[in-house]
Amino acid sequence: MDLRSLRYFVETVRLNSFTQAAESLHVTQSTISKMVRQLEQEVGAQLLLREGRTLTLTDTGSVVYQRGEQMLAAMQQLTVEVRDTQEARRGQLTIGIPPMINLLFTPVLKAFRQRHPDIALTLREDAGQALERQVATGELEIGMTVLPADPQLALQTSPIASYPIWALAARGTFQKHRTTLKLKALAGMPLVLLKDDFALTRSLRHAFSAAGFEPQIAAQSGQWDWLVAMASAGMGVALLPEPFVHRLAIGHRLDAVRLVEPELQWQAAHVWRGGYLSHAARAWLAVCEDVLPD
């Protein structure tokens, strides 16, 4: 089976479009169609049903797609290991970092550039749950998320940092001089949370469920500073890790209290598939261990 035709087929299915697959792979649409037909001839069965602009996998196509993803991921891993062997002191590394976690990593980036100037480092920003899936499929070698990671993805995890979560609300929402708030007290309050594709929101929803209540969500956003603005305007209570609370000039606009009983922790962690890690990835982890506080 030709790996190039398999790659073209997998990309076509992933994007559900011959046109978009051609753009992604920088070839013509006719080349994509030709390679998919070639793969069907090699397999001896139709793989895709074309109904207008909609593509549907046949039973055989579904098997080829699932196994094809695994084969391509294995080939990518082979490329990483061979390159790492040939270039013991050089390499390339793409790190997946959620928008919230990235604020903690400026010192790490500076130290990594100083220690490993010949390693080409690329940062890919995305929500934690999306990065977990990209690591699980082999699209990323290593990424970051907020624990607990999705257990179905069977990823290796290594904690980076842990901070308590605080509740922020318009001045006067909480009792005067209060410094802590029981989790169950949030049951009757409107909340403003990050979107559901953020790992922090997944962690919070688990905590709400364990405490026995369904949260009253007033609004959700992908920007933590917008959550703070909504909380300041009295729309609801924002829940954020301690480092972000300390970055705010709260003044007289907001009340800030730490959640207790239980004390919720924002646990940032690296995730990878297990097994082999490239020289560049191991170098990154080593710098993180040296630079980040215990």
- Mean pLDDT (whole number) for 109-122: 89
Read off the pLDDT of each residue in 161-168 and give the average, rounded to a whole number. 92
Whether the pLDDT of residue 291 is over 80: the answer is yes
189, 255 Cβ separation under 8 angstroms: no
pLDDT range class, residue 287, cuts 50, 70, 90: very high
- Give residue 294's pLDDT: 65
Over the stretch 186-233, which tens digit does the pLDDT of each residue have? 998 999 999 998 888 999 999 999 999 999 999 999 888 899 899 999
The arithmetic mean of pLDDT across residues 92-104, rounded, is 86
pLDDT reading at 89 higher than 70: no
Residue 28's Cβ-count burial label (10 Å; 0-12, 13-18, 19+) is exposed
- Determine the Cα–Cα distance for residues 40 and 35; give it in Å rounded to an integer: 9
pLDDT category, 105, cuts 50, 70, 90?
A: confident
Banded model confidence at residue 63, pLDDT cuts 50, 70, 90: very high
Q: What is the mean pLDDT of the chain?
A: 88
The conformational region for residue 261 under phi > 0 = left, psi -120 to 50 = alpha, else beta, is left
Phi, psi values for residue 55, rounded to 5°: -110, 130
> Residue 84 pLDDT more than 70?
no
Residue 168 has a pLDDT of 93
The verdict on pTM exceeding 0.85 is no
Q: What is the DSSP letter of 26?
A: T
Query: Which one, of 164, 161, 125, 159, lies nearest residue 269 by Cα?
Result: 159
Q: Which of 67, 50, 49, 51 is nearest to 10 (CA)?
A: 67
For the segment 247-281, what is each residue's pLDDT rounded down to a tens digit?
Answer: 775 555 788 999 999 999 999 999 999 878 888 89
Instruction: Report which of 152, 150, 105, 111 is spatially closest to residue 124, judged by C-alpha positions.
Output: 105
pLDDT confidence tier of residue 235, bands split at 50, 70 and 90: very high
Of the candidate ranges 83-92, 140-149, 239-248, the one whose mean pLDDT is the lowest: 83-92
